[in-house]
Amino acid sequence: MRRARAALSALAAVTVLVAGTSLAADWKVLEPARYASKARIEIDSKKITYYRFDAGNPLVFSIEGPTRVKVLTRLRLPTGVDAADYAISVLRDGTRGVHEQFTTKPSTQAVYVRSEDHHPGVIRRVYIDVPTGQHGYELRAMGDAVVDAKVFESAASTPSRASLAPLSYASVETFLHRDKELTYYVATAQKPVVFEVIGPTTVKVNTRLVFNQMMFGAQTYVVGVREVGEAEILYKLKGVPSETVVFRDRQDLIPGALRYFMLDVEPGKHTYEFRLADAVSPELAVKFYVPRGDLLNEP
């Protein structure tokens, strides 16, 4: 399988999730490369440095994905203003992105260290899913708005991932894990699972060997992966019956414990076939995940 190259992919939009949609995560501070000026904001006797930007002086930073970025923004409000709207434009690699609209009001806890004429607004958050590779971002305030911001990168060792459905498969099965339903796609020796993806990205391929009542203990199985027009690559895995996951609709079978491998994908559109190349069992269940930021990759 061809390795992914460090390349920047074009896009028509930027993935931005707004206020309150973030999952729990640990974050580390990311200092921007360019900004209009610094601003000091005091909260509960603690002085915090923010980075100011406006329409003509963007907040600029570079980051390697896949990862997630959180931007805390506070509109700079004149004294006496009770509420105001503002918009932020997010660009990736110089490509026009999206505008995010916010409504805010003066914070009752935060004050500027050296300004009595303005007050910081209540925090409004922007979340950016960064695709695979090195990318540059620009945040600009629209109109005459002036915004103070802090930038954070996810400290998680693995990026947030989204599942993708394949184009075709032998069958689809639902597994139960506690109160959660898991959708998997079945591959056999004769009927592969066909999966299409746009790189650059890294696909996490989750596999579960399907055990029947005549199979005992650990079982070795081989997954054949072939990109259309290329030679097949074999992945050898060893599975055991799962103790926590069961079939929803097939009581005579047991899903195997999760085993996975990573598939590096070059830029562009690629189609792969996943088949059960060798195993005692006739069926293999698979599921595919890609970094959430890579969902906007274009061929």
pLDDT of 25 reads: 56
Which residues are registered as beta bridge partners of 149?
A: 51, 73
Classify domain 161-296 by CATH architecture: Sandwich (2.60)
Question: Beta strand 118-120 with 171-177: parallel, antiparallel or unpaired?
Answer: unpaired
pLDDT tens figures, 239-273 = 999 999 999 999 899 999 999 999 999 999 999 99
Total-model pTM:
0.70
Average pLDDT over the chain, rounded to whole? 89
Do 96 and 258 meet the contact criterion of CB atoms below 8 Å apart?
A: no
Q: What's 16-154's CATH class? A: mainly beta
pLDDT of 213 reads: 81
pLDDT of 159 reads: 80
pLDDT tens figures, 17-29 = 443 333 445 899 9
**pLDDT-above-70 percentage for the chain:** 91
The residues, ordered by sequence, that sit 6+ positions from 226 with a Cβ below 8 Å of its Cβ are 232, 233, 272, 273, 275
Average pLDDT over residues 91-100: 84
Which has the closest alpha carbon to 69: 238, 254, 293?
293
16-154 and 161-296 agree in CATH topology: yes
Question: How many residues are recorded in the chain?
Answer: 299
Average pLDDT over residues 98-102: 88
pLDDT of 108 reads: 93
pLDDT of 128 reads: 92
Distance CA 185, CA 274 (A): 10
Segments making up each domain of the chain, as ranges: 16-154, 161-296
